[in-house]
Amino acid sequence: TSIYQEIVFAKKNKRKLLVILLDPEKILVSDVALLCSKIKNAPVTHIFLGGSTFNGNYLDELIVEIKKYCTLPILLFPGDHKQISNEADGILFLSLLSGRNPDYLIEHQINAVPFLKKTDLEIIPTAYLLIESGTITAVERVSLTKPLDRNNIDYVCQTAKAGEFMGNKLVYLEAGSGAKNAIPLEMIKKVVDEIQIPLIVGGGISTQEAIEKVFEAGADMVVIGTAFENDNTFFN
């Protein structure tokens, strides 16, 4: 079975999925063994690997090293086509539907094709929606796009639904790494009612209680980056 089928299966069975986002820029290959021992003690189901500014150096080596210690599925979460490695299991093929920069809607995706054709990665088309979070986050800075208004839930729902109609398999509501304000729970509930496909929520989620609330609101996958980066014992 594919990683995506397992995500859909988990959604159907209301089994919540917890993702650790690792930013390759912040990890040394020599740190991986220890890092993986911490991940093993945590109720984590998937690893996302990527960042807005990573140049792709050592990505293969890093993934090979992670796979020595950890059997969780690794999905690339790339900022651009330089962050593609056949050592991973799959890739979120993101389209930044909240923004109006054609580079992040289609140009990077086109440029990724020659690289993707050399891999057997599972490709999961994902509608990626950046939501305003009280601070300017890396996604906004790097993509040169404005996030969606966090108070205009109807428009966010419409965008998510458009993403589904376009054939995306996942919707990712992103507040941005280290966001001051995470995605509003009310927004998560409304988007879940609107779409049939699984929903990923991330950005600025920094406590166990917050994770629980996001799951209760209906998210299928929750992504934790900064909280685990700052404290490797976060889940213990």
Q: Which residues bind ligand 1GP (CB under 6 A)?
A: 21, 174, 177-179, 202-205, 223-227
Q: In this complex, which beta carbon is closest to ligand 1GP, that of residue 13 or of residue 233?
A: 233
For 234: left if phi > 0, alpha if psi spans -120 to 50, otherwise beta; the answer is alpha
Is the separation of the CB atoms in 11 and 198 below 8 Å? yes
Q: Smallest gap, in angstroms, from Cβ of residue 228 to ligand 1GP? A: 8
Q: How far apart are CA 4 and CA 60, in angstroms?
A: 22
Q: Smallest gap, in angstroms, from Cβ of residue 48 to ligand 1GP? A: 8
Q: In this complex, which beta carbon is closest to ligand 1GP, that of residue 83 or of residue 165?
A: 83
Q: In this complex, which beta carbon is closest to ligand 1GP, that of residue 8 or of residue 227?
A: 227
Residue-wise burial string across 120-142, b where 16 or more C-beta atoms lie within 10 A, e elsewhere = ebbbbbbbbbbbbbeeebebbee
From the list 183, 24, 46, 181, the residue with the least C-alpha distance to 171 is: 183
> Could you give the C-alpha distances from 215 to 131, 208, 209, 211, in angstroms and in order?
18, 11, 10, 6
For 120, the token pair is 């057997």
Is the separation of the CB atoms in 83 and 76 below 8 Å? yes
For 134: left if phi > 0, alpha if psi spans -120 to 50, otherwise beta; the answer is left
Q: In this complex, which beta carbon is closest to ligand 1GP, that of residue 117 or of residue 209?
A: 209
Provide the H-helix boundaries in 147-184: 153-165
Residue nearest to ligand 1GP (CB): 202
Q: In this complex, which beta carbon is closest to ligand 1GP, that of residue 36 or of residue 92?
A: 92
Q: Smallest gap, in angstroms, from Cβ of residue 178 to ligand 1GP? A: 5
Q: In this complex, which beta carbon is closest to ligand 1GP, that of residue 5 or of residue 208?
A: 208
Q: Smallest gap, in angstroms, from Cβ of residue 206 to ligand 1GP? A: 7
Q: Smallest gap, in angstroms, from Cβ of residue 204 to ligand 1GP? A: 5
Q: Smallest gap, in angstroms, from Cβ of residue 151 to ligand 1GP? A: 20
Is the separation of the CB atoms in 228 and 31 below 8 Å? no
